[in-house]
Structure 1
Amino acid sequence: MRTRRIAAAIAAAALLPATAALFTSSQASAQTSDEIQAEIDERNESLEKVIEEYNAKREELDDANELIAEIEAQLPVLETEAAAANEALADYAASAYTGGDMQMVNSVLAGDPSDFADRLMYLENLSASESAALQANVAEVQELQTRKTELETLKASADDILEEIEQQQEDIEAEIADLEEDYEDTYAEEHPGPEYDYEGSSAAVAFAVDQLGEPYEYGEAGPDSWDCSGLTQKAWAAAGVSLSHNAAMQWDETARISRDELQEGDLVFYNDLAHVGMYIGGGEIIHAPNSTTVVKIVDMDYSGSIVGYGRP
Structure 2
Amino acid sequence: MASHRRPKQPSRTRVTVLTVTAAAAVAFTAQSGAQAAPAKPKIDEVKSKVDKLHHEAEEATEQYNQADERRGELQKEVGDLQDKVARGQQELNVLRDQIGSVASAQYRSGGIDPALQLFLSADPDTYLDKASAIDQLSAQQADVLTSIQAKQRTLAQQRAEATAKLADLEDVRKTLGEKKQKFQGKLAEARKLLDTLTKAEQDRLKQEEREKEERASRAAGQRTDLTGGGAPVDVSNVSGLAGKALAAAATQIGKAYASGEEGPNSYDCSGLTQWAYRQAGARISRVTYTQQNDGTKIGRSQLQPGDLVFFNGLSHVGLYAGNNTILHAPKPGAFVRYESMDYMGTFQFGVRVGG
- Provide TM-score, normalisation by structure 1: 0.47
Q: In terms of Rg, which structure is larger?
A: 2
- Provide TM-score, normalisation by structure 2: 0.42
